[in-house]
Amino acid sequence: MAKNKNQKRKDAISLKNAQEALRFQVQWGLKKLGVAEGGVLYKLAIVELEYIAELGLTQDLLTMKKLIDGVEQKFGASVTADKAPFAQSIVCIALGIARVSDVSNIGLPMNWADAIAQKLLPVYFSDTVRNNAVAWAKQNGFNTSTYLGKPIAKFSNIYLIIDRTIEA
């Protein structure tokens, strides 16, 4: 029984550490984007973080950030701006999971409950980088598969479709 109690305590501490790490990374990302602390977007991000924590998506977002950052470091390419549902999330924008051309023009916030229900959410890379990004994800231990011919990265609550944008 003591082992079970200790395991629950370790799990709770691990979850709290992940939530604090996510909060710090979001605050750092907002600072890099020039969002004023205490401003509307900053407050929106804090509320969104609390909602993400309630839904149990903290670890998924940290792992997505790790994937996107790894691809960016390895290939020098980031996700395509103003694409995918993540572009509606100030948290995802601050983490670098999504990019927008103008942070102040973010519309309605992302509905995370719908995102969980949908399960499959796309992230877009340029056509030249997408296949390399998928290969890098496989090499670095991300759980990858395909869905309807498109590569996906599997997380605990969300499957990330790694899609391509064709540049004209």
Residue 1 confidence (pLDDT): 55
Residue 46 confidence (pLDDT): 92
* CA separation for the pair 49, 57 (Å, rounded): 9
Report the chain's C-alpha Rg in angstroms: 16
* CA separation for the pair 19, 84 (Å, rounded): 24
* CA separation for the pair 114, 119 (Å, rounded): 8
pLDDT beneath 70, residues of the chain: 1-3, 107, 167-168
Give 44-75 pLDDT, tens digit per residue.
999 999 999 999 999 999 999 999 999 999 98
Token representation of residue 90: 């100030």
C-alpha closest to that of 78 among 53, 51, 101, 62: 101
Query: Can you give the pTM of this predicted structure?
Result: 0.86
Residue 73 confidence (pLDDT): 92
Q: What are phi and psi of 110, to 5 degrees?
A: -65, 140
Token representation of residue 163: 């899609």
